[in-house]
Structure 1
């Protein structure tokens, strides 16, 4: 089924360039020249694929981070003892909107959770060549005094104090969300979601002295409890590393798939950015590390087809950090995955006549 690529191209342009900056200024010359050639050739499907895979220009991302930094500055002046970090697609450059939201996490230093103490002790005993710093990091957890406060009450207070600060600083603040405070500054015009959390220390994060391997536990104001441990910094690091190994191709596939989801006439909101990133990350590097951008569509087509049809393979797919299965016992996600597969199939079929000179299959 041929799609309306004139309309789809305009959607991508409006999404990735919401300020309508002249593209000859916005894009580098090589990219602008290639878009010009595609336009003049009339191969709109190739132009749509090319634009969909392209990253948001640095100036938009910089403005998004600037909005987060401004919010962080106000919070930090009120509470400098808290750690502030960013998470999400902006930090892995897999976002597809020029005016993207950004997640700012305020992480308490009053307490932390960790793997069972026995694991730290085993690591301490089994590593004879540890540095003094590594020994101390493990001992800090092994010999730590149990926290005597009320962790949920402390996180609630941190969340409520942040609400007071932000409400007194910004006009547009939504404090009703359970997991975050939504702040919409006017300059730059971005949405900043402020999340409250505590640290989770794994054995490897302490032994390797690597914060990216630490987890967080997000506070839910509605439930007044911490949620299951998540590893957002590890996910960002793994995506960045693999995309570097593949010349940016992993991120191109993620952006393209997210674009198809955004442009679909089907409601695919139940299939998250997290799910899409995990599916693309699962594809073996050797299948695509040297392919041109348009052949990445074929790689996605074959992968989504295999996931849709092969239950054993589908059930084996894990999240990027390896902590959960994406589709196992999740029929709604499988249904949405199949709908997204159909979107990829349509693009793939429309691409074929435009790539007859290439060995696409």
Structure 2
């Protein structure tokens, strides 16, 4: 039986930092009886713990905390770009990932910053305009971006000597501690001008090729198309897509370790794709937010039971299937069980003396006004 009182504490600590951290940040003794963290809307509800948890888990992290993450990522990226220029490497920055999409679940979230060569790009051939590709650097692009990666490691290690600069990651350089307010992941890459980008010149059609250090290769990705499609569908359904994505991510974060290890086979892209695939099931007014718990439960149930429907789901940019290995199906099963437990706990809190095990209509009709 899940204790949602305990999970509410975990949720608050994740969203606002622990009480002890908040006291230290405000120069107060950790032995103080006070809790300087602000109370959020979900905490003020006169509802049961499962309902408060569901509403809180779907809510966006405080906008100021998110802005601090973005500002810190941009500050580190700008510093690196300036240092790279001293050795003749021209680069530019872009933000990607959960913070950029506002589907992160931690107040002190890591931020992903792409560092891209700005003076040379990869182009999907044959070029739409029929012209030849003439590169200013004759080296293979993977060698050019390896140099970008190597110089980034050198520059960041020398500049942030009081922080931990972890260069062991294959795709990113992770910085944390020291003067940094957030963990920042620097991701060396280059632009990839797809055929669609050559036709439209729309940023969301621009691809990137991320350098993989261990394999010395470039890995294609379309983060801006992913973000555009998520943002467009989220706007269509009044923010409900991002609500269900945050709910799934929080549920996974709060699982016991033996479950979490399995559920985390689902990446952030996979979780976003599951919510993206709900389509019109995302339609409900904000005062019926709890209906999203039931709609997500029903959607996951269908995906668990019907492989043919599950196999058709692709990530929002269309680049690959979501359920491309058995480990992800196991993760889906665990996630479905967790959402079902939440839905049943909400139902029992609404009907403490009811005889039914579960009645979905209770969640579909329960009104919550924030």
TM-score above 0.5:
yes
Q: Which moved more, 1:53-62 or 1:106-115?
A: 106-115
- Residue 59 of structure 1 and its aligned partner are, at CA, apart by 1.3
Question: Structure 1 residues 277, 68: CA separation in 2 closer, same or farther (over 3 Å shift)?
Answer: same
Higher relative helix content: 1
CA distance in 2, matches of 1:36, 1:249: 21
Q: Secondary structure at the match of 1:179?
A: coil
The reply to whether residue 233 of structure 1 matches residue 224 of structure 2 is: yes
Question: Structure 1 residues 212, 151: CA separation in 2 closer, same or farther (over 3 Å shift)?
Answer: same
The reply to whether residue 282 of structure 1 matches residue 277 of structure 2 is: yes
Indicate conservation of the 8 Å contact 1:26/1:57, yes or no: no
Question: Structure 1 residues 359, 263: CA separation in 2 closer, same or farther (over 3 Å shift)?
Answer: closer
CA distance in 1, matches of 2:252, 2:147: 38
Alignment of 1:50-129 (within 5 A): 50-80=55-85, 81-117=90-126, 120-121=127-128
CA distance in 2, matches of 1:164, 1:349: 53
Unaligned runs of 5+ in 2: 23-33, 352-358, 365-370
Q: Secondary structure at the match of 1:216?
A: strand
- RMSD, aligned α-carbons: 2.2
- Residue 103 of structure 1 and its aligned partner are, at CA, apart by 0.8
Give the structure, 1 or 2, with the largest relative contact order (CA under 8 Å, sep 6 or more): 1
What TM-score does the superposition give when structure 1 sets the normalisation length?
0.85
Q: Deviations over 1:172-213 (max 9, x none)?
A: 111121211111143342111111111111122232221121
The reply to whether residue 295 of structure 1 matches residue 304 of structure 2 is: no
Question: Structure 1 residues 234, 26: CA separation in 2 closer, same or farther (over 3 Å shift)?
Answer: farther
Indicate conservation of the 8 Å contact 1:66/1:188, yes or no: no
Alignment of 1:1-361 (within 5 A): 2-18=1-17, 20=19, 26=38, 32=41, 35-38=43-46, 41=47, 43-80=48-85, 81-117=90-126, 120-121=127-128, 138=129, 142-145=131-134, 148-170=138-160, 171=162, 172-227=164-219, 229-265=220-256, 266=259, 267=261, 268-285=263-280, 287-290=282-285, 292-328=288-324, 330-355=325-350, 359-360=362-363
Q: Give the aligned length.
A: 331
Unaligned runs of 5+ in 1: 122-137
CA distance in 1, matches of 2:74, 2:281: 39
Q: Secondary structure at the match of 1:350?
A: helix
What TM-score does the superposition give when structure 2 sets the normalisation length?
0.83
